[in-house]
Amino acid sequence: MKHRTIRGKILYLDNDTGETGREWFTITVQPDGRRTLRAQCEMDDRGLLRDVIYSVDTDWYPLDCFVRLSIEERLTVRAGSGSPTISRSAKPLRRRRVV
């Protein structure tokens, strides 16, 4: 397989209490430039667990997205999935290449 995979962990830190949460992520970059981000975030101080899968095409336009939020071990209603429809003639606000 010729895709690239980038993995990492982000710590959420507080000056007084230290680590308050963490986020693991994986970004898969296909040979044609399509990307998929998978992330899991835990925020201890809020009892939050977030799962995200987000894909963009070669021009960084969204293809699909899935988000699930749980607070205090309960699934919230702020979760969902979708396939956004974005006009390619619309001018993007600002894009930065991260990967």
Over residues 32-58, the pLDDT tens digits come to 999 999 999 999 988 999 999 999 999
90 lies in some domain: no
DSSP string, 3-63: -EEEEEEEEEEETTTEEEEEEEEEEEE-TTS-EEEEEEEEEGGGTEEEEEEEEE-TTS-EE
62 lies in some domain: yes
Domain containing 37: what range? 4-82
Better-scored residue on pLDDT, 73 or 57: 57
30 lies in some domain: yes
94 lies in some domain: no
- pTM for the whole structure: 0.74
27 lies in some domain: yes
What's the pLDDT score for residue 99? 43
Over residues 4-29, the pLDDT tens digits come to 999 999 999 999 999 999 999 999 99
42 lies in some domain: yes
| Number of structural domains the chain divides into | 1
